[in-house]
Amino acid sequence: MTRNDVAKLAGTSPAVVSYVINNGPRPVSESARQRVLAAVAELGYRPNAVARSLRARRSWTIGVIASDSAGGTSPFFGQFTRACEEVAWQRGYSVLLGNSAEDPARAESYLRSFLERQVDGLVLMRVPVAAERAEEMRRVPVVTIDHQAPPFFSRLAVDDEEGGYQATRHLLEHGHRRIGFVAGPLDVTPIELRAAGWRRALREAGAEPGPLAEGALSLEGGYDVAYRLLSSGPRPTALFASIDDQAIGAMRAAADLGLRVPQDVAVAGFDGAREAAYTVPGLTTISQPIDAMARHATETLVGAIESDVGDPLTKIFSATLVTRGSCGCPEPRLRQG
């Protein structure tokens, strides 16, 4: 089955078939495009991907590497990568996905593998890159989701410190003065910045910071840290968790200790994961625009791939406080009537 067979059935030239399949470089009338697509479907024609790549000098693939210490269970990473894949598919690219699990050796292995496969670009989600490797990657467009990156990478991040400040200030407005922080590892930049926002809000209110304890960025980690904080005195009357999974784990720890949320201990998280709306009570959280960030990252990368020019971009997204019952705010209904 050849392109000529498709052209013959569609009543067009082989060049028009090529324009339709490859989305250019010349425009094609809608009627001709529909005839070509119908012919492709009827004949079961499949373009030669290798030949297409050689002509375009592209592999039509994007590598996405996440750094999810929770083993791929974090709602942020799952939602982000799904949105990346959707945009990439719409633009004609396939996605190779790897999870470094906070392991530098594993991250380096994925980088090496993806570059050897000649991916057209990379999205790195909180994946540190050694200076020598970064220099080797200058030929490949890269978008990082992090606060720290080489100057020749495009960089996206959320304002983590402001988000931590908003969450803590809201708990203070509910009258809490002893607000604990269920932290992830503080050597992770976003967690460190969220802790800085927590401290700033307490300092402005004249409240003592603490208690703080570090744990894994997971449901289990949140449960373990909150259990320790809530079972030793003086007990905090509110908890701010560095991610929503930890906050959900904290709510379960409170229940196991016979404490009511929010009457005995208020809880707030950070991420804006979809699951936050379905806890009982619903989880108050700092919502990151996850889908918008993923779309922007992928569109930025594809734009850099297809233009072969352009300076690296930096964009910091704002986070939004979403109030629900876990902090003491009125509980919204998911469905009316």
* Band of residue 47 on the pLDDT scale cut at 50, 70, 90: low
Are 176 and 266 within 8 A, CB to CB?
yes
Is this prediction's pTM over 0.85?
Answer: no
Helix axes 14-21, 30-43, angle to 10 degrees: 90
Any idea what the Cα angle at residue 324 is, between residues 318 and 330, rounded to 5°? 130
CA dist 70 and 273 (Å) reads 15
Q: Write down the pLDDT at residue 51.
A: 47
Pairing of strands 212-214, 179-183: parallel
What pLDDT shows up at residue 54?
Answer: 40
Task: List, in order, residues 6 or more apart from 138 with CB less than 8 Å away.
Answer: 152
> Do 326 and 279 meet the contact criterion of CB atoms below 8 Å apart?
yes
| pLDDT value, residue 264 | 97
- The pLDDT, as a whole number, for residue 321 is 97
- Output the pLDDT for position 136: 78
Residue (of 297, 308, 289) closest to 62 by Cα position: 297
Q: What is the mean pLDDT of residues 299-314?
A: 80
For the chain, the helix, strand and coil percentages under 3-state DSSP, each to the nearest 5: 45, 15, 35
Q: Is residue 287 within 8 Å of 322, Cβ to Cβ? A: yes
Is pLDDT of 73 > 70?
A: no
CA distances for 110 relative to 20, 53, 147, 166, angstroms: 34, 22, 21, 36
Q: Give the three-state DSSP class for 97.
A: strand
Residue 223 confidence (pLDDT) above 90: yes
The identity of residue 113, as a single letter, is: S
Q: What average pLDDT score do residues 292-306 get?
A: 90
Q: Mapping DSSP to helix (H, G, I), strand (E, B) and coil, where does residue 23 land? A: coil
Is-contact 93 302, C-beta < 8 A?
Answer: yes
pLDDT class of 7 with cuts at 50, 70, 90? confident
Sorting pLDDT into bands at 50, 70 and 90, what band is 245? very high
CB 60 within 8 A of CB 92: yes
198 phi/psi in degrees, rounded to 5: -60, -45
Tokens of 324: 């629900």
Is residue 319 very low, low, confident or very high in pLDDT (cuts 50, 70, 90)?
very high
Q: Are 249 and 220 in contact (CB under 8 A)?
A: yes
Lowest average pLDDT, out of 21-35, 61-75, 209-223, goes to: 61-75
The beta-strand segments (E) located in 133-265 are: 142-145, 154-158, 179-183, 212-214, 238-241
Among the residue ranges 45-49, 119-123, 248-252, the one predicted with the least confidence is 45-49
CA angle 311, 317, 320 (to 5 degrees): 175
**What is the distance between the alpha carbons of residues 168 and 268, in angstroms, rounded to a whole number?**
8
Give the model confidence (pLDDT) of 89-114 as tens digits. 888 888 999 888 778 888 889 988 99
Condensed to tens digits (0 to 9), the pLDDT of residues 160-174 reads 999 999 999 999 999
Place of tokens 């380096």: 108
Res. 177 pLDDT band, cuts 50 70 90: very high
Contacts (Cβ under 8 Å, ≥6 apart) of 2? none
pLDDT, residue 116, reads 87
User: What is the average pLDDT value for the chain, to the nearest integer?
Assistant: 86
For 119-163, write each residue's pLDDT tens digit. Answer: 999 999 888 787 778 887 888 899 998 767 888 889 999 999 999
Please name every residue paired with 284 in a beta bridge, in sequence order, or none if there are none: 268
Whether residue 15 has pLDDT greater than 80: no
Reduce the DSSP state of residue 100 to 3 states and report it. Answer: coil
Using pLDDT thresholds of 50, 70 and 90, give the confidence band for residue 244.
very high
The band of 325, judged by pLDDT with boundaries at 50, 70 and 90, is very high
Rounded to an integer, the average pLDDT of 75-97 is 86
- For 226, the 3-state DSSP assignment is helix
Are 248 and 269 spatial neighbours (Cβ–Cβ below 8 Å)? yes
pLDDT bracket for residue 330 (50, 70, 90): very high
How confident is the model at residue 70, as a pLDDT? 44
The pLDDT-based confidence of 75 (bands split at 50, 70, 90) is low
Q: How much is the pLDDT for 74?
A: 62
